[in-house]
């Protein structure tokens, strides 16, 4: 069975649509499936829509978070709850075309364990967005040592890969990169990002900046090395300037101006503060990990009757 996991945050208009689209395509292809909606603390009627859909379609399962925990947590919750032999994760705004699911499923049948959805085109977005996304992916690709510039969260994973992902202990996860990190027999499928038909993107520019910083820190220590490199650069400059000052002193041409002094204080001061900030951010993340809080809390579940555990629940 194929489990399709759909994280949903304020997607009331898309729930029914997504479920019927996926149902239509997978039924014609004769693929046994379940749909797992994860309602990530939506503020609209997403949950009611999920309940309605589940009542109509026995293949639909719903998980309700106690509040908004973010897409990464929603995807992991979906994977943890899914019962399929393979699990696909996709956006429920249908920007990830469900037709590609079939292609991915066929590759899985051929023995691939991780099938990555790769963006052929990025769809419509602003120039600012594209440039900053490009910069972020360049950095993260270096950290993971895999080209991530066209990576997406649209993936199909074999049960073994899912178990491997779920066994990772960290709280701060970056699904897109972790799915490459775990390895396994991997292949990719290209798809065109579709336009969103209903609702709006949940990402503001600021939230994307935060997302980028968080994931760079979560996935690499490169920023800490930047501190070291900056330190070395300043040290070299200090030696040169120090030498110059000493030479001037001994040759009787002592510097009169304070310009150098002021500049040095400014440069070193700001470098020290930036460095402390970076270290502080890492410590903050370590603190979060050490607390070991769960990635998400589930307040409610509904299982479609097509699922074995749902039948069991009714018996008990």
Beta-strand runs (E) in 122-202: 151-158, 186-192
Q: Does residue 46 touch Mg ion according to CB under 5 A?
A: no
Burial class (CB in 10 A: 0-12, 13-18, 19+), 33: buried
Q: Does residue 95 touch Mg ion according to CB under 5 A?
A: yes
Which of residues 204 and 251 has its CB atom nearest to Mg ion in the complex?
A: 204
Which segment (64-72, 104-112, 126-134, 288-296) binds ligand UDP by CB under 6 A?
A: 64-72
CA distances from 237 to 37, 72, 199, 240, 267 (A): 57, 43, 54, 5, 11
Chosen from Mg ion, ligand UDP, none, partner binding at 11 (C-beta under 5 to 8 Å by type)? ligand UDP
Which of residues 95 and 179 has its CB atom nearest to Mg ion in the complex?
A: 95
CB of 77 to Mg ion, least distance (A): 19
Annotate 204-226 with three-state secondary structure: CHHHHHHHHHHHHHHHCCHHHHH
Span 3-42, contacts to ligand UDP by CB under 6 A = 7-9, 11, 40
- The secondary structure element, H or E, covering residue 62 is strand 60-65
Q: Does residue 92 touch ligand UDP according to CB under 6 A?
A: yes
**Token pair for 290:** 């050490």
Separation of alpha carbons 115 and 265, rounded Å:
53
CB of 90 to Mg ion, least distance (A): 10
Chosen from ligand UDP, Mg ion, none, partner binding at 202 (C-beta under 5 to 8 Å by type)? ligand UDP
CB of 249 to ligand UDP, least distance (A): 60
Give 280-286 contacts, CB < 8 A, sequence gap 24+. Answer: 281/213, 281/217, 281/223, 282/217, 282/221, 282/223, 282/224, 285/172, 285/214, 285/217, 285/218
Which segment (94-102, 124-132, 259-267, 276-284) binds Mg ion by CB under 5 A?
A: 94-102
Question: Residues 56, 121, 201, 205: which binds ligand UDP (CB under 6 A)?
Answer: 201
Sequence-separated (6 or more) residues with CB below 8 Å from residue 19? 35, 37, 53, 57, 60
Separation of alpha carbons 190 and 287, rounded Å:
38
SS3 content of the chain, % helix, strand, coil (to 5): 55, 15, 30
Nearest to 18 by CA among 37, 3, 39, 44: 37
Q: Does residue 93 touch Mg ion according to CB under 5 A?
A: yes
Which of residues 9 and 108 has its CB atom nearest to ligand UDP in the complex?
A: 9
Which of residues 202 and 295 has its CB atom nearest to ligand UDP in the complex?
A: 202
Question: Residues 45, 106, 202, 295: which binds ligand UDP (CB under 6 A)?
Answer: 202
Chosen from ligand UDP, Mg ion, none, partner binding at 176 (C-beta under 5 to 8 Å by type)? none
Q: Does residue 245 touch ligand UDP according to CB under 6 A?
A: no
Bridge partners of residue 190, in order along the sequence: 118
Question: Residues 70, 97, 117, 304: which binds ligand UDP (CB under 6 A)?
Answer: 70
The residues binding Mg ion (CB under 5 A) are 91, 93, 95
The residues binding ligand UDP (CB under 6 A) are 7-9, 11, 40, 68, 70-71, 74, 91-93, 95, 201-203
């Amino acid at each position: 069975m194929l489990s399709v996991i759909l994280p949903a945050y304020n997607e009331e208009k898309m729930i029914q649509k997504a479920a019927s689209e996926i149902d239509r395509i997978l039924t014609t292809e004769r693929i046994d499936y379940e749909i797992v909606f994860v309602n990530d603390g939506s503020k609209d009627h997403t949950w009611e829509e999920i309940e309605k859909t589940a009542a109509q379609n026995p293949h639909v399962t719903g998980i309700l978070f106690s509040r908004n925990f973010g897409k990464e947590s929603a995807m992991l919750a979906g994977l943890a709850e899914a019962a399929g032999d393979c699990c696909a994760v996709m956006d429920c705004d249908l920007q990830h075309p469900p037709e590609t699911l079939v292609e991915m499923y066929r590759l899985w049948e051929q023995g691939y364990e991780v099938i990555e959805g790769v963006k052929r085109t990025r769809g419509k977005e602003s120039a600012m967005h594209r440039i900053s996304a490009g910069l972020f992916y360049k950095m993260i690709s270096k950290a993971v040592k895999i080209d991530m510039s066209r990576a997406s969260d649209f993936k199909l994973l074999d049960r073994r890969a899912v178990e491997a992902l779920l066994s990772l202990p960290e709280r701060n996860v970056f699904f897109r990169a972790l799915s490459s990190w775990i390895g396994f027999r991997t292949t990719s499928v290209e798809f065109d990002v579709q336009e969103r038909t209903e609702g709006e993107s949940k990402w503001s520019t600021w939230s994307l900046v935060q997302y980028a910083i968080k994931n760079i820190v979560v996935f690499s220590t490169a920023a800490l090395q930047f501190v070291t490199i900056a330190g070395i650069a300043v040290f070299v400059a200090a030696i040169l300037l120090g030498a110059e000052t000493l030479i001037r002193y001994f040759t009787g041409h002592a510097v009169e101006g304070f310009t150098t002094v002021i500049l040095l204080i400014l440069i070193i001061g700001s470098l020290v503060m930036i460095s402390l900030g970076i270290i502080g951010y890492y410590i903050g993340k370590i603190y979060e990990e050490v607390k070991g809080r769960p990635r998400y809390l589930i307040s409610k579940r509904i299982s479609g009757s097509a699922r074995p555990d749902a039948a069991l629940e009714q018996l008990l």
